[in-house]
Chain A
């Protein structure tokens, strides 16, 4: 009896130890530098990743790799950030940057302590991806004061931390691309509709461009609706549906975020107006391509960037900053225009085909140098 129980306990004890060992073992394999997660994520989103050849010898500190940096990310979850992170990691590997990746899982307080840990950890540079200005600014200045260069992606810190390099995808350029196509398609003096949610930084920046177009085209804005919810496309479809019933005579609708555009498109179908009312958006995904290329789709054009390429370009900006070659404090990544006609002419059905048909999405020439091997997607 006693022996039996003792044996059983020993078995359980063994299990407990095994569990602990599993944690340690998993740690070891990650530590060896073979980052399996990155590779998997990359193959999911790209057909083939190529790297351009470095044409010159690397300047200090890249003449003696690895160069250790930290990435302090507000949230790595979701399609966009998975791709962004994957691009950044591939570029880091190509240049010889070794990174510690802090992911606060959208917890702003955790991002603050992550930043403190990163500052004290002996890295030579820090990339901060998203976060709250009030939270991160003092810490970014702490890092700069400690002699650690900081590259920011998409946080407004120019006023409070002017010495950090601020990068962002150019929302103005995205809005311009989509709206200039809309102007070309429908012409001046038209009734137009608008779907947007103000108070969200990138959407606010797109809004500024919209107002310019309405003023100068000139267009007559018949309605302005939009809300940000957990189901943006569905909930906005209802709003646009109501707005279209009241204003069926609009010629086009600008909805500068793809979830808003999808909602707009389904409202246009709902009212059988796809012949006369066209939609213009921003961003693209596999699902969006399907909507845009559907028979008789009213979604005529969108403007976009490739999150993989943006992540890689941010990492190159870090490299340039460390090498002392980054002079500007503000870096805008340009977008590209994707029209329905282009997708149909090239029989493009998904992102992979789009990337190969539009090499400019790669940004390989942006924020690069002859000593930097740029990754392409």
Chain B
């Protein structure tokens, strides 16, 4: 997936600087680390080499990657959407309710979930753009709101077929088999979640790096006032970024729902921090030092490789958090310490 993109990105980036060792390290260090780990695991763990392992790793990565790409959109305009995990969790409950309680078809559930995601994004935009609440605080409030609200219609229960409803009747529907295919199906050997992840990553990269709108979003992120004076409609762009984030998170939730096969109320709980981590790791890829789609996707894959590899080496679960922390730290060192470019992550948040 990455070869073409890498070459293009690298081409545009190297033009201005003369190449020395440190520049090389900043640009390719992270990719090199990824490749090194991949080769190391592949050489030492026979099971890691299996193509089925690769695909289940990418499947696992796809959910974090998609949520991270949405988060990247909001980071580009200088914000941070803390509600992505909760949105994905809500998507799981909405999908389960649509199919199990209202006995609707799978495609209805998909439409309902995406609309719900867009609405949450719009709600965030309302808080941030119109009510002028700082991004972090607004999305934190949204996170708690939807974490709780999603449980109201289901009385705090996980929604699965055979659920007893409030009036004592049994829920009439179940997860449809076509909906379950979102996670279980595949295009040739490539599972659908990986296909969805790839398509969203490419579209996001194209949108941010190759369109006028993407450039305006970066301009807003680095200096909203200057962007406004230059004629950009800052509020609208921010609103779009948050709605994209909501929709992406709900798509991640669709994959989760299909994977779990029931309205698990704990779904999405661990997603937020993982999504933040891959987006931050992504800023260091290719020495770009700003949030970017290619980096986020690669960051997600690197963390997927590390988690799969360390699991196969029987690292206890707590060591996996240590590994994630080290990866993030190394990425931050590449970005902040080694790079000559001025680094910008999240623009100043007035706290």
Question: What's the tally of chain A residues with a CB closer than 8 Å to chain B?
Answer: 44
Determine whether B2 belongs to the interface, using a CB cutoff of 8 Å to chain A.
no
Instruction: Check A77/B317 contact, CB under 8 A, given A112-B260, A120-B50.
Output: yes
Q: Map CB proximity to A onto B41-62 as digits: 1 under 8 Å, 0 otherwise.
A: 0001111001111011101100
B302-338: contact bitstring with A at CB < 8 Å (1 yes, 0 no)? 0000101111111111010001001001100110011
Contact across chains for B264 and A9 when beta carbons are under 8 A apart? no
- Chain A residues lying within 8 Å of B228, measured Cβ to Cβ, are none
Secondary structure of the B contact surface, majority rule: helix
> Which of A102-110, A178-186, A342-350, A357-365 forms contacts with chain B?
A102-110
Contact B259 A120 (CB under 8 A): no
The minimal Cβ–Cβ distance linking A197 to chain B, given in whole angstroms, is 13
Minimum CB–CB distance from A142 to chain B (whole Å) comes to 9
Expressed in whole angstroms, the Cα–Cα distance for A288 and B56 within the complex equals 43
Q: Is the CB of A100 within 8 A of B317?
A: no
**In whole angstroms, what is the CA distance A329 to B254 when docked?**
35
Q: Cβ of A135 and Cβ of B310 under 8 Å apart?
A: no
A147 at the interface (CB under 8 A from B): no
Whether, in the assembled complex, A76 has its beta carbon less than 8 Å from a beta carbon of chain B, the answer is yes
Are the CB atoms of B326 and A23 closer together than 8 Å?
A: yes
Tell yes or no: B6 within 8 A of A by CB: no
Is A24 in the interface zone, CB < 8 Å from B?
yes
A99 at the interface (CB under 8 A from B): yes
Which residues from chain B contact A122 at a C-beta distance below 8 Å? 46-47, 50
Q: Number of B interface residues at 8 Å Cβ cutoff, please give it.
A: 57
Tell me whether B14 is interfacial, beta carbon within 8 Å: no
Contacting residue for A119 out of B52, B310, B326, CB 8 A: B52
Asked whether any CB of chain A lies closer than 8 Å to the CB of B184, the reply is: yes
Query: A31 at interface (Cβ–Cβ under 8 A)?
Result: yes
Task: Give residues in A with beta carbon < 8 Å to B.
Answer: 9, 12-13, 15-16, 19-20, 22-24, 26-27, 30-31, 35, 37, 76-77, 99-103, 105-110, 112-114, 116-117, 119-123, 132, 134-135, 138, 199
Q: List 24 A-B contacts (CB under 8 A).
A: A27-B310, A27-B315, A30-B315, A31-B313, A37-B316, A100-B314, A105-B270, A106-B266, A107-B269, A107-B270, A108-B260, A108-B264, A109-B259, A112-B183, A112-B259, A113-B57, A113-B259, A117-B53, A117-B56, A120-B53, A121-B312, A134-B161, A135-B260, A135-B261
